[in-house]
Amino acid sequence: MEDIVNKEYQKVKKSPFFIRAIKKAYDYSSKHINYKIGAAAGVIAGGIVFYINKDHSSLSALGSAGKQFAYNLFVGGYNMKLCEKLAKGYSSRKVSVGLATFVPPAVAFLVTYSIHKFGGTPEAFKSSIWQVPLNLFTSAAFGTYFRRKHEKTLDNYL
């Protein structure tokens, strides 16, 4: 096992500075952002936004979809990592899953509302509040999933 780790380290060490910097940034940010779930949410939400805006122009629809993808990749990915940390972070299953269910949607609402409010959206609250039920459902499902996965891992160690 140690040989495999050393070989991988040597590969990274020999790569150009730019590649090493990107790898370090990704490794660090992966502790705070779940890129897989964020990217999946970005593709879905970006597709919806593209479809909504396709009648205006392809370029503006693509730009809107790209912004939505980026938002979901980073903010949605951050919220899912937060959900995972909360689901695993407390000894009480009810407390963990409860926090994992309610905190990420609150964060998402505050971020979305702030973007709309400071961006000048006329109906900032209405543009933001519709996501809360969807986020509650998603956070509850993933919070439960992360907690069960965590408990299985703990059972394997005991």
Tell me the average pLDDT across 83-94: 94
96/85 Cα distance (integer angstroms): 9
Does 6 reside within a domain?
A: no
Task: State the number of CA atoms in the 13 A half-sphere of 33 facing the CB.
Answer: 19
Tell me which DSSP letter residue 90 carries.
Answer: -
Which structural domain, as residue segments, surrounds residue 87? 11-157
Does 94 reside within a domain?
A: yes
Q: Please give the pLDDT value at position 95.
A: 96
Does 1 reside within a domain?
A: no
Best CA proximity match to 129, nearest among 146, 117, 147:
117
Tokens representing 96 are 């963990």
Does 5 reside within a domain?
A: no
Does 128 reside within a domain?
A: yes
- Please indicate, yes or no, whether the overall pTM of this predicted structure exceeds 0.85: no
40/73 Cα distance (integer angstroms): 8
Does 121 reside within a domain?
A: yes
Does 39 reside within a domain?
A: yes
Total domain count, the chain: 1
